[in-house]
Amino acid sequence: MYKHILTAIDSSPRGDRVLDAVEYLAGVTGADVQVLHAEEREIFADQVVDLETDEEARAIVDRAVARLRGAGITAEGEVVHILREGVPDNILARARELGSDLIVLGPRHHGRLGALLGASVSHEVSLQASVSLLLVV
């Protein structure tokens, strides 16, 4: 069914639920998994500000990869440094580059203002994905 799964995770409890789904699907299909974490940056005035440290970002990916490998799944991980608005395009580009046939995300629940500003990564990915997309809530 699936051969290559790309999952993008963050440090929230939602990330654990995403990994639960990915671990199950990869386990039953034999798919390999690429874990992606965006170390997001924002522009404030004329400065680019990191929203987390490199160590925090790397730890998120390392924990996820260790968990998947511990379950017998072939998994790799990477941290990308990117402005927040570039995250959806980066996820889609990595899925294409890796030949992923499934993208698994945990959508953030934005308030009305966030929805109006188009702040949803999962929404943007869903509009442009050319492969299956699983949203884990």
Is there a contact between 109 and 135 (Cβ–Cβ < 8 Å)? no
| pLDDT at residue 39, as a whole number | 86
Once rounded to an integer, what is the mean pLDDT over residues 87-92?
95
| pLDDT at residue 109, as a whole number | 55
User: What's the total number of domains in the chain?
Assistant: 1
| pLDDT at residue 112, as a whole number | 52
Give a yes or no: residue 108 inside a domain.
no
CA 130 to each of CA 71, 92, 95, 96, 101: distance values in angstroms, whole numbers, following the listed order: 29, 9, 9, 9, 9
| pLDDT at residue 116, as a whole number | 52
Mean pLDDT of the chain: 89
Give a yes or no: residue 92 inside a domain.
yes
How is residue 40 written in tokens? 């997001």
Residue 73: give its domain's CATH number.
3.40.50.620
Is there a contact between 18 and 107 (Cβ–Cβ < 8 Å)? no
Listed in sequence order, the residues at least 6 apart from 120 whose beta carbon sits closer than 8 Å to its beta carbon are 107, 108, 110, 114
- Tens-digit pLDDT profile for residues 105-131: 998 654 555 555 556 888 899 999 999
Give a yes or no: residue 111 inside a domain.
no
